Amino acid sequence: MSLPDAPLSLRQLSKAGLCIGCGACVGTQALPGASMALDAFGQFKPIGPAGFERARSTALARLCPFSPTATNEDELAAARFPAAPARDNRLGRLEAAYVGAVAEAPYRQQGSSGGMVSWVAAELLRRGLVDGVAHVSPSEGDMFFRYGISRTPESVLAGAKSRYYPVELSGVLKQIREVPGRYAIVGVPCFIKAVHLARAQEPVLAERIAYTLGLFCGHMKSARLVESFAWQMDTLADAVARPEFRLKGPERPANWYTAQLTLKDGTVRQKDWWHLGDGDWGAGFFQNSACNFCDDVVAETADISFGDAWVEPYSSDWRGTNVVVVRSPVLRELVEHAIGTGRLELKLAGADYVANTQAAGFRQRREGLAYRLTWRRRGIKPRKRVTPSRDLPFQRKLIYRLRYAISAWSHRLFYLARRQHAPALYIGWAHAALRLYHGLAYGRGRIGALARALRLTRGDG
């Protein structure tokens, strides 16, 4: 049930750490005169005329995906998929779920995982179901990647791969309003939720945005991740022409992330995430604060959503393998037809199987969120589908506290190190924080031995 329509200001949402920087408010005029820019921590935030952030607005309260008064994921999904034959409290409503990859070349080779996102987006264009696909591609200028609209399958493919980098929707929402046609949008769960909240406010967006393609999500990273990788590969972000977050090759399993920086002088540097101080995804470095209050791992409001099959034998298969949750009957037909003709190599998977591929994500966004919701907070309170609870083992509480602290302090320490031109300040801290996290979460190293002796770890991250 939605709460009363209380107006909210951007300042209230930001002070509560709830602005993810999706840009939906700017793209829909919920914040007139505002635009999107990176803040001091390298995260997108709306900027605008003096005092604009203090103005309370009902439109903003209804539109922001982290607003406590906006329609929630269950309500959106119930309206969008009323006839879905199955419902799961982790995956949401669904027609069917699958595990596998694209058989048709070169999608799997060029994708981060099994290539399914780019294939479905391209197929929507090939079948004439949409005229354009809003997704994230490499870009020139001040940002390495940004949202744009692809109108050919080739252009969709050129944007393949996951970009753990800040992006925002305001530009593509404006383009969709200006240029008639039918569109698909690819995005992480909160972005897809924002798109549906925007569709609910603007009939033209509702009519033109015909399909939403969701990405499972661990959390959003700031732009500082690339800068930090550059420091740790003995260069500077200014020297980087093109970052890649996940290289693919027979020499490394899919879950062995390798970052690569192609520099402007043409040289290439690489490092495995394991060897980077902030390279453990689970530790939460550079995580956007709003992600602490997310309860949607798998884009429950999207017509179809995609993740990595993080279970064996797939996590070791270097080619990459998707898990896919289909919620729209039209897309189920499209996928089933392609399985039948050998273009997709997918087999049906149960809800438990798919949820298990994201076990750590669900722990953080269910048990961890329930715990975080019990913490004292100033300002507006998030409204989530998870009931606040302190009923969890002490060691789990420690891990959630530590992860929260790492994500908050990574922004501040990096800011300081950047200002002082002192990479060692941040990198030294990051390695120490990671050792502590690995000790507590996995019982590794000397801290792990101590944590085991004190019964402070169960080694499950």
Ligand X SMILES: Cc1cc2nc3c(=O)[nH]c(=O)nc-3n(C[C@H](O)[C@H](O)[C@H](O)COP(=O)(O)OP(=O)(O)OC[C@H]3O[C@@H](n4cnc5c(N)ncnc54)[C@H](O)[C@@H]3O)c2cc1C
| Cα 366-401-92 angle, rounded to 5 deg | 15
Least distance in angstroms from the C-beta of 292 to ligand X: 15
Cis, bond preceding 313 (omega within 30 deg of 0): yes
Nearer to ligand X, 163 or 384 (CB): 163
Which listed residue (57, 72, 170, 322) binds ligand X by CB under 6 A? 322
Least distance in angstroms from the C-beta of 14 to ligand X: 20
Map residue 219 onto helix, strand or coil.
Answer: coil
Q: Which residue has the tokens 């909210």?
A: 8
Least distance in angstroms from the C-beta of 3 to ligand X: 29
224 vs 244: CA distance, rounded Å:
14
415 vs 72: CA distance, rounded Å:
34
Nearer to ligand X, 218 or 448 (CB): 218
DSSP labels for 145-189?
EEEEEE-SHHHHHHT-S---S---SHHHHHHHHHS-S-EEEEE-H
Nearer to ligand X, 41 or 216 (CB): 216
Q: Footprint of ligand X on residues 72-111 (CB under 6 A)?
A: 111
Nearer to ligand X, 53 or 308 (CB): 308
Nearer to ligand X, 136 or 430 (CB): 136
Contact (Cβ atoms closer than 8 angstroms) between residue 122 and residue 174: no
According to the binding rule CB under 6 A, does residue 186 interact with ligand X? yes
According to the binding rule CB under 6 A, does residue 34 interact with ligand X? no
Which listed residue (12, 28, 43, 113) binds ligand X by CB under 6 A? 113
Q: Footprint of ligand X on residues 45-64 (CB under 6 A)?
A: none
Q: Footprint of ligand X on residues 143-172 (CB under 6 A)?
A: 159-164, 167
According to the binding rule CB under 6 A, does residue 308 interact with ligand X? yes
Nearer to ligand X, 325 or 417 (CB): 325
Which helix (H) or strand (E) is 396 found in, with range?
helix 394-419
| Cα 190-192-193 angle, rounded to 5 deg | 60
Cis, bond preceding 106 (omega within 30 deg of 0): yes
Task: Count CB atoms within 10 A of the CB of residue 149.
Answer: 20
Residue 221 has what DSSP assignment? B
Region from 113-121, 331-339, 428-436, 444-452 binding ligand X, contact rule CB under 6 A: 113-121
Contact (Cβ atoms closer than 8 angstroms) between residue 318 and residue 253: yes
98 vs 77: CA distance, rounded Å:
20
Gap between the terminal Cα atoms of the chain? 34
According to the binding rule CB under 6 A, does residue 184 interact with ligand X? no
229 vs 269: CA distance, rounded Å:
10
According to the binding rule CB under 6 A, does residue 314 interact with ligand X? no
Nearer to ligand X, 114 or 382 (CB): 114
Q: Footprint of ligand X on residues 189-218 (CB under 6 A)?
A: 215-218
Nearer to ligand X, 44 or 414 (CB): 44
Contact map string, positions 358 to 397, toward ligand X, x by CB under 6 A:
x--x------------------------------------
In the complex, the residues that contact ligand X under the rule CB under 6 A are 111-118, 121, 135-137, 159-164, 167, 186-188, 215-218, 220, 306-308, 310, 320, 322, 358, 361
